[in-house]
Structure 1
Amino acid sequence: MTVTDLRGRLSGATDAELALLEEKLRDKLWQRRWNAWTPYPWQVAPAEIETLGWWLQLGGRGTGKTDGCARYMVSHVNGPPCDERIPGGHRMAIIAPTQGDAVEACVNGPSGLKGHDPRVVLRTTAGGTFARWPSGAEAKLFGAHSPDDVERLRAGGNRCLVWMEEAAAMRRLGAAITHSEMGLRIGKNPHYIASTTPKPRTEIIELTRRADVVMTRGRTRDAHHLPQAQRDKLISKYAGTRMEKQELDGELLQDIEGALWSRARLDTTRVGAAPPMARIVVAIDPAAKGGDESDEMGIIVAGLGQAYIPDRNGFARRHGYILDDLSGRMSPEECMRRAAQAYHAWKADAVIAEVNNGGDWIGTTLRQIDQTVNYQTVTATRGKATRAEPVAAVFDQLAAHIVNAFPELEEQLVTWVPGDDSPDRLDAMVWALTKLMLAPAGNLAAVA
């Protein structure tokens, strides 16, 4: 039958007949994709998940962690109902670093739910954003980035399955686990599945030690669905480094010998909310030359508390607080726009920036975007390790604190060893706390 013949036969079909045909075609396409899937061993849920509470996939880049979890959720939906009173028998949740990540990676992406079951549709209603199946089963999408995200999880409702995507990248991972766990109570075996590239987060380390967590691990070098040339390029580039172990081999690295910060110290000094501030700065550590979006721009907001609080040695002093991390890969214009917005949002006293490494562009660009910002420059006269050590000492004295959690910044702190190239988030934080707590008067130059 030709396309013309098919169009002719369908021209007289009713809307109901066309809808039924579409449904049957979707069913056939789903079955074809479902049967064609060849998993890696680490993408298959262990049998123990039927009795335990967690399946945690730890894997390097390109090992199909999202793919494995999406496959599992589709299988769960098409299995026995967890509660026959619920439409479709299943009521689930997907939590990602942001809700947008949940939409892009877990539903619409090539490894997401639609890639395994094209019958899935994405719907946004007054109650939230949902992935839905023709049976009526649904998965509500959540983020774990802002305080509002945590509040939505509090009211997330009861679920039979929770999928946590890139758990180690969630800013509020602990709160996401706590509040989703309270709603995990539908069916005989409500449980979690989680997929992540491992990072030295307290919550991830604790999960790996729990008796109710079963883990699978995958390495980039074994991901044969990736082009061999790409695997060879990544492995040769990062061979022998921490990046190879963590990002490619999926190893969970904990404290690094020689690092100035430890995970335990960050957790000891962590606070859940910031007190009233006496001063606030927005510190920028620019990418080299300011024009390469492949490098990160470090943007850290930090404050000096009003109250005098005893430190570890009993000396009453004002403490420093890391309030926000706005760093990322971006253009110079976006970097300055983000810094200016933070300056006004936090009612900061100044934006400060390092100008040694091609940072002269910062003042010019910032003035073009917002002339009202109080801009100051810093010039490095000492090595990075020498600048960072006093700031690390302030943490050791229990006088500096991270407010809530900033996973990317914290990973840099606990894995950087003096002598290595220091990352931009860490550098920006060092400049901020140096300005607030350590710099003598006149050490910074104000730019009119």
Structure 2
Amino acid sequence: MGPTDLDARLAGLSPAELEILEQQLADRLWQKRWGRWKPYPWQVPPDHVPTLGWWLQLGGRGTGKTDGCARYMVSHVNGPPCDPRLPGGHRMAIIAPTQGDAVEACVNGPSGLKAHDPRVRLRTTVGGTFARWPSGAEAKLFGSHTPDDVERLRAGGNRCLVWMEEVAAQRRLKDAITHSEMGLRIGTNPHYIGSTTPKPRSELIELTKRADVIMTRGRTRDAIHLPAEQRAHLIAKYKGTRTEAQELDGILLEDIEGALWSRAGLDTARVGAVPPLASVVVAMDPAATSHDESDEMGIIVAGKGAQYIADRNGFQRQHGYAIDDLSGRMPPIEAARRAIRAYHEHRADAIVAEVNNGGEWIGTVVRQIDPTVNYRTVTASRGKVTRAEPVAALTDQGSAHIVGSLPELEEQLVSWVPGDSSPDRLDAYVWALTHLMLAPAGNLAAVA
């Protein structure tokens, strides 16, 4: 049969017949792909995951963590129904750092659900975004970045399986686990699967110590499906460093000897909500030059409480609160815009920026965008260790707090050792707390 005859036959089919044909072809394609998958040892799931427990894949970059979880979910859908009364027998959830990450990595990406089962369709309705199978089984997609994401999880419905993608990168991980667990109640064995490159998050450390969490681990050096040249380059570049241990070998690092902040200290001082504030600042620590996008631009929003509260030494004082972390790699004009938006959203008293480390451009750009901003400069007259130690002491004294979770900032705090190059989020945090709680008025310069 030639192309013309085939086109003619297809043109003669009704919409319902075309849909049936498409489904039959997708079934054949899925069966063909399904048998070709060759898993790494760490991608092979356990025979049984305890009820409300986890199968957690910890691995370096390129070790197929997402691939393993996608395969597991497809296998789950095509296995026995968790509730025969439901269409397709399964209602699941995928929670990623953002809903966009869930779509891109877990469904559409080269290691996502569609790669394992081309019958999966992504659908967005008034009820949310779903990955759906022809049987009627579905997985609803969630993010865990904003308070609104958490509220959606509260009303996320009942599920038989939850896939947590990039666990350590989820900003509101604790809330995501709490609210998703409340809905894990379909079938006789509702449980989690998780995939992540490890980072020293308290919630992740706690998970790894639970008896009902089964872990598998993979290393980049053993990921033979990656190009050998790329693996050799990464291993040689980061050999012997913390980056190699965490990002390539998938090792969960905990507190670092010599670090000024400890994870336990941050957790003890952590608060769940922003109290009434007397003042707020947006602190900026620039990359080396106004043209340097290779380093992060530190942007931290922090406030000083209106009430006087006793610290651990019994001293009555106004406490400090880190509210938001807007840092990242970005061009200078985007950094200024981001800081200005935060200034207005949080009704801040000032944008505070360091100017003796290539930050002179900040004031110029801020004034060009919004001349109404109260902009102040700080000049580092002391070494970074001398500036950071008093701020770290505030945490130890119980008078400096992180509101909710700011994982990227927290990782820098607990991993920085004096003598190393200090990262920009940490520097911005130190500037903010110093301005709010420690700096004499004369150390700040107002710029009109």
Output the TM-score relative to the length of structure 1: 0.98
Cα deviation code 1:413-440 (max 9, x no counterpart)? 1111111111111111000001111111
Q: Distance in 2 between matches of 1:95 and 1:106?
A: 9
Q: Distance in 2 between matches of 1:295 and 1:113?
A: 34
Return the alpha-carbon distance in structure 1 between the equivalents of residues 424 and 33 of structure 2: 43
1:422 partner SS: coil
- Work out the CA distance in 1 between the residues paired with 2:7 and 2:260: 70
Structure 2 residue aligned with 1:414: 414
- 1:265 corresponds in structure 2 to 265
Residue 372 of structure 1 corresponds to: 372
Deviation at 1:356, TM superposition (A): 2.0
Structure 2 contact 88–136 (Cα < 8 Å) conserved? yes
Q: Which moved more, 1:4-13 or 1:252-261?
A: 4-13
1:61 alignment partner AA = R
Query: Distance between the aligned counterparts of 2:93 and 2:51, measured in 1?
Result: 20
Q: Give the secondary structure class of the aligned counterpart of 1:48.
A: coil
In the alignment, the residues of structure 2 paired with residue 272 and residue 70 of structure 1 have an alpha-carbon distance, to the nearest angstrom, of: 33
What's the offset of the Cα at 1:190? 0.6
Q: CA deviation at 1:7?
A: 2.3
Q: Partner residue of 1:225?
A: 225
**C-alpha distance in structure 2 between counterparts of 1:358 and 1:429, whole Å:** 18
The aligned counterpart of 1:130 is: 130
CA deviation string 1:153-186 (max 9, x = no partner): 1111111000001111111111111111111011
Task: Report the CA distance between 1:264 and its aligned residue.
Answer: 0.2
Name the residue aligned to 1:60. 60
* Letter of the structure 1 residue corresponding to residue 246 of structure 2: Q
Separation in 2 of the partners of 1:2 and 1:264?
71
Find the aligned partners of 2:277 and 2:259 in 1 and give their Cα distance.
Answer: 29
How far apart in 2 are the matches of 1:52 and 1:397? Answer: 37
What is the deviation of 1:2?
4.4
Distance of 2:220 and 2:158 partners within structure 1: 36
1:360 positional shift:
1.7
Structure 2 equivalent of residue 326 of structure 1: 326
CA distance in 1, matches of 2:225, 2:339: 41
Structure 2 unaligned residues grouped into runs of 5+:
none
Helix, strand or coil: the match of 1:289?
A: coil
TM-aligned CA distance change 1:282 to 1:52, over 3 Å? closer
**Cross-structure match for 1:239:** 239
1:407, distance to aligned residue in structure 2 (A): 0.6
Show the counterpart of 1:151. Answer: 151
Separation in structure 2 between the aligned mates of residue 359 and residue 31 of structure 1, nearest angstrom: 58
Tell me the amino acid that sits aligned with residue 243 of structure 1.
T
CA distance in 1, matches of 2:51, 2:338: 47
Q: Secondary structure of the residue that 1:410 maps to in structure 2?
A: helix
Contact 1:309–1:317 (Cα < 8 Å) also in 2? yes
CA contact (8 A) 2:52 2:184 kept: no
Paired amino acid for 1:297: M
Total equivalences in the alignment: 448
Matches within 5 A, 1:141-220: 141-220=141-220
| Contact 1:300-1:324 at 8 Å conserved across structures | yes
Inter-partner Cα distance in structure 2 for 1:351 and 1:3: 67
Contact 1:48/1:214 (8 A) holds in 2: no
Q: Secondary structure at the match of 1:409?
A: helix
**Structure 2 residue matching 1:141: 3-state secondary structure:** strand
- Contact 1:166–1:194 (Cα < 8 Å) also in 2: yes
Cα distance in 1, alignment partners of residues 9 and 129 from structure 2: 38
In the TM superposition, residue 90 of structure 1 has moved relative to its aligned partner by 0.2
Distance change (3 Å), C-alpha of 1:357 and 1:6: farther
Q: Which amino acid aligns with 2:226?
A: L
Q: TM-score, normalised on structure 2?
A: 0.98
Residue 367 of structure 1 deviates from its aligned partner by: 1.8
Aligned partners of 2:199 and 2:246 also within 8 Å: yes
User: CA shift at 1:233, angstroms?
Assistant: 1.4
* Other structure's SS at 2:429 match: helix
Distance of 1:196 and 1:39 partners within structure 2: 17
CA distance in 2 between counterparts of 1:432 and 1:83 reads: 53
Partner AA of 1:196 in structure 2: T
After superposing the two structures, state which structure 1 stretch, 301-310 or 144-153, moved more: 144-153
Over aligned residue pairs, what C-alpha RMSD do you find?
A: 1.3
Partner of 2:296: 296
Alpha-carbon distance between aligned partners in 2 of 1:236 and 1:48, rounded to the nearest angstrom: 38
**Partner amino acid, structure 1, of 2:124:** T
Q: Report deviation, 1:5.
A: 4.2
The answer to whether the 8 A contact 1:282-1:432 is kept is yes
3-state DSSP of counterpart to 2:289? helix
| Cα shift at 1:236 | 1.3
Superposed CA offset, 1:111-169 (max 9, x none): 11111111111111111111111100001111111221111111111110000011111
The aligned residue for residue 99 of structure 1 is: 99
Is residue 198–residue 250 contact of structure 1 (8 Å, CA) maintained in 2?
A: yes
- Name the residue aligned to 2:402: 402
How much has 1:52 moved relative to structure 2?
Answer: 7.2
C-alpha distance in structure 2 between counterparts of 1:55 and 1:318, whole Å: 44
Amino acid of the residue matched to residue 146 of structure 2?
S
Deviations 1:345-379 (A, max 9, x none): 00000001112222122112212221211111112
Q: Which amino acid aligns with 1:186?
A: I
Query: Could you say which residue in structure 2 is the equivalent of 1:84?
Result: 84
**SS state of the match for residue 49, structure 1?**
coil
1:291-315 residue CA offsets vs partner (Å, 9 max, x unmatched): 2333211110000101111111111
Task: Return 279-288 or 45-54, whichever deviates more.
Answer: 45-54
Matched AA of 2:193 = I
The Cα shift of 1:210 comes to 0.7
1:281 corresponding residue in structure 2: 281
Task: Give the conservation status (yes or no) of the 8 Å contact 1:168–1:197.
Answer: yes
Give the Cα separation in 1 of the matches to 2:120 and 2:442. 61
Residues 90-113 of structure 1 deviation map (CA, whole Å, 9 limit, x = unaligned) = 000111111111111111111111
Equivalence map 1:296-445=2 (5 Å): 296-445=296-445
- Cα distance in 2 for partners of 1:207, 1:313 equals 33
Contact preservation (8 Å) 1:52, 1:213: no
Contact 1:320 1:399 in 2 (8 A): yes
On the 8 A contact 2:277/2:304 being kept in 1, the answer is yes
How far is the alpha carbon of 1:16 from its aligned partner?
A: 2.3
Structure 2: how far apart are the matches of 1:375 and 1:50?
Answer: 55
